[in-house]
Amino acid sequence: MTRALKGLGVAMVTPFDTEGKIDYPALQRLVKHLHTGADFLVVMGTTGEVATLNPTEQMAVLDAVIDYNAEKLPIVFGIGGNNTANVCEEMARFDRAGVTAFLSASPAYNKPTQEGIYRHYMALSEASNLPIILYNVPGRTASNVLPATVKRIAQAADKVLGIKEAAGNMEQVMELSRILPESFLLLSGDDALALPQMVCGGHGIISVIGNAYPKLFGDAVRSALARDFKIARDKHFSLLPMMQLIFAEGNPGGVKEVLKYMGICGNDMRLPLYPVSDVLSEKIRAEMGGLG
């Protein structure tokens, strides 16, 4: 199971048309594009604007991706929230074939203690019929899942098989790598930190820029996993300026701008998110020219 979820996972954007409706032809183009270099797909994460899609829309997007993917790549589906009982119920009643695991962020807004976070994931593990990837993103949740807590979860929660670590703290990454079992997936949640995290023992990334550059970034990630750090470094550094640009005005506005210029999908988003400024758009287009 864990072997299937190593390498480049892509946190897929959700394409919309100019009226804010899901753009399924664009979604199909995106899946085809991701088949050129991704190792697995992640549907309904933050990058997919899950907060502005209702449950029916979320499942419709998932069903479409399962169809377009045609079993070529593993699929991870995002289910999370700050009401543990509701998340457990969603996971327990989930009945879609073609999904390998769930991605579930630590509860936001409530700011639970480490004990509360531990018990949250223990409850999810008991309720779920699928493996779970814990997602630590303190910048969005307002609480950090500390390495000692992750270790407790890894040892006690049978269904939790890994973590998407996006605290942006390399010392924390090193501590996770030091104390976690090798079998427990350690995935980066920050594009720019994917390379150093894999040097420290990480197994890959769930990426935003991978939407636009699955082949280039996928080759960088797989080279790092193979310990060919010269190739990994060259490819990673070639994308580093673009990584910085696409997050300059928030996610997923930046990467949708790249995808717009690539002709894969439009840059439309649902409020309160809004497309990037004209100034940033021109910088992105210029950087795309350098990447080819």
- The CATH number linked to 95 is 3.20.20.70
Determine phi and psi for 171, rounding to 5 degrees.
-65, -40
Q: Which of 6, 159, 164, 283 is catalytic?
A: 164
Are 192 and 240 within 8 A, CB to CB?
Answer: yes
What are the backbone angles phi and psi of residue 129, rounded to the nearest 5°?
A: -95, -5
| pLDDT for 1 beyond 60 | no
- Would you say residue 290 lies in a domain? no
Q: How many domains does the chain have?
A: 1
Of residues 118, 121, 135, 213, which has the active-site annotation?
135
pLDDT band at 291; cut points 50, 70, 90: confident
Q: Is 164 a catalytic residue?
A: yes
Residue 280 lies in a domain: no
pLDDT, tens digit, for every residue of 251-280? 999 999 999 999 999 999 999 999 999 999
Is there a domain that residue 91 lies in?
yes
pTM over 0.85: yes
Confidence band, pLDDT 50/70/90 cuts, at residue 54: very high
Mean pLDDT of 159-184: 96
Structure confidence by residue, pLDDT tens digits, 220-240:
999 999 999 999 999 999 999
Respond yes or no: is residue 215 known to be catalytic: no
Quote the domain boundaries for residue 194: 2-235
What mean pLDDT value characterizes the chain? 96
Closest CA to 271 of 49, 11, 26: 49
